[in-house]
Amino acid sequence: MRTIKYNIKAPEVILLCEMLNNLGYNLIVSNSFTVEVDNAVKDFQTKNNLIVDGIVGTKSWSKLYELNFQFTNHNSKFLSENDLIHFADVFELELATVKAVNEIESSGKGFLLSGKPKILFEGHVFWRELEKRGIDPNTYYTNTTANILYKNWTKKNYLGGEAEHLRLQKAKQLGSDQRFIDAANASASWGCFQIMGFHALSLNYSSIDNFIEKMYANEGEHLHAFGQFLKTNHLISYLQNKNWSEFAKRYNGASYKVNKYDTKLAMAYAKYSKQ
């Protein structure tokens, strides 16, 4: 793992936060190495007889992996090179293209240390999904539910990691029948490629429950869902033609330019095409 420290933004910080939280810390999971993360790292280093400098290098990573022993139990769930090769063959794509998409559009890994799939719960989607099922969200909107049920998108309620599953569970328990469970599961994005649950039926899953079951299985299932999404939404040709901007626009939305997804995809493709 690369060495990381205070004030850096990197995917490795997400893993660091998850590992620390698994050891009893209470950090917001993000890619930002904040003051809170710095303090937690120094506390971890102090308790484990490491140099207390807040820098997460080889020794700190090694100790984190050692203590997070259950992490190694999930290796069978991870994507392999053969998974990507098969995906490339099925969709008639260059392997370099698939690897570029996997690097940029995947969240890096599809599972938390607990073995649960990585999710992000969207309260504004939950509002909409309840309405679809004939339930008036206003009836259930209170100060205590405001972090899982709201009319307009906001990122202020995101907690990341295991805490997103707690938000999902809270949403499921909002009512007493299956409609609330289905609406909640439909309102989270799931796995490596963060496919929204409400896409389940259009992606040929028999039910939302069937989709969720697959998301708990392994990252190969995450990749399969991604392939179904690409096919259903007619995105394959943009990848075949290396039309990164049009692909990013249709997959990431109109804000793709702000996050430079097209540029990142092109750079990743250039890197993998040389290998």
The structural domains of the chain, with segments of one domain joined by +, span: 11-67
Kind of pairing between the strands at 195-196 and 119-121: unpaired
CB distance 18 to 37 below 8 Å: no
Give the C-alpha separation, 11 to 31, whole Å: 5
Q: pLDDT tens digits for 88-131?
A: 999 999 999 999 999 888 866 788 877 889 999 999 999 999 99
Per-residue confidence (pLDDT) for residue 74, from 0 to 100: 55
Mean pLDDT taken over the chain: 92
Angstrom CA distances, 258 to 99, 228, 248, stand at 22, 26, 11
Per-residue confidence (pLDDT) for residue 210, from 0 to 100: 97
Decide: residue 69, CB within 10 A, 0-12 exposed, 13-18 middle, 19+ buried.
exposed
Per-residue confidence (pLDDT) for residue 62, from 0 to 100: 86
**pTM (2 decimals)?**
0.76
- 11-67 CATH choice from 3.40.30.10, 1.10.101.10, 3.30.1330.10, 2.40.110.10: 1.10.101.10
